[in-house]
Amino acid sequence: MTTDLAPEAVPDRPVIDQEQVADLYRQLLRALGEDPDRDGLKDTPRRVARWWSEFLEHDPGSTDTLFTHEQASADGEEIVIVSGIVVASLCEHHLLPMTLNVTAAYRPAGQVLGLSKIARIAQAHGHRLQLQERIVNGIAEDLAKATGVPDVAVAATGTHACMSMRGVRAAGAVTTSVTTRGRFTISEPLAHAFRRVALKGVAP
């Protein structure tokens, strides 16, 4: 089975003009009162331009490996939860970094998704200029598409440099975003099991 990431959630990877990006960073350094030709900075524009290419042209690899799976018992409901996925991204409002700890879950129906594929889906959404809420919803959309089931839930807790380095300078602030779909919205046992893992140490 072949599954492509949802185009509305993760756009096509851009092609970065590294030479132009490097030139813009040289201009920025001059505007900041720096000398882009001094020893410590002369290679910085080129290095930063290469980083932008690595970040925005990121290829998540295959996200569609499914395995046949039969539920061991007809009693109750079964869910798969993967937690501790660290996603690094950039806030589109200030171009400052955010670091998210992501938990994703789904209710398998006859087949399971390779565990590494869930991490690949999550990482794909980080390699953009992003919002935490958009990342969470995008992962949920692609997880539902990859697994073929509507019953998914995704949570992310994150720290944002735009909160800690500027403005209010709230260095200890943690932001939590959660989306639930399908049976995770109507089954309290499923929702409780997900929250217990996803929000451990975050929610009271």
pLDDT in tens, 163-180: 998 888 888 899 999 999
Exposure b/e, 55-94, CB count within 10 A at least 16 = b: beeeebeebbebeeeeeeeeeeeebbebeebebebbbeee
* Domains of the chain, CATH where assigned: 18-56 (1.10.286.10), 66-198 (3.30.1130.10)
Q: Which two tokens stand for residue 56?
A: 């925005």
pLDDT in tens, 105-158: 999 988 889 999 999 999 999 999 999 999 999 999 999 999 999 999 999 999
The dihedral over CA atoms of 18, 134, 141, 73, expressed in degrees to the nearest 10, equals 120
> What pTM value is reported for the model?
0.85
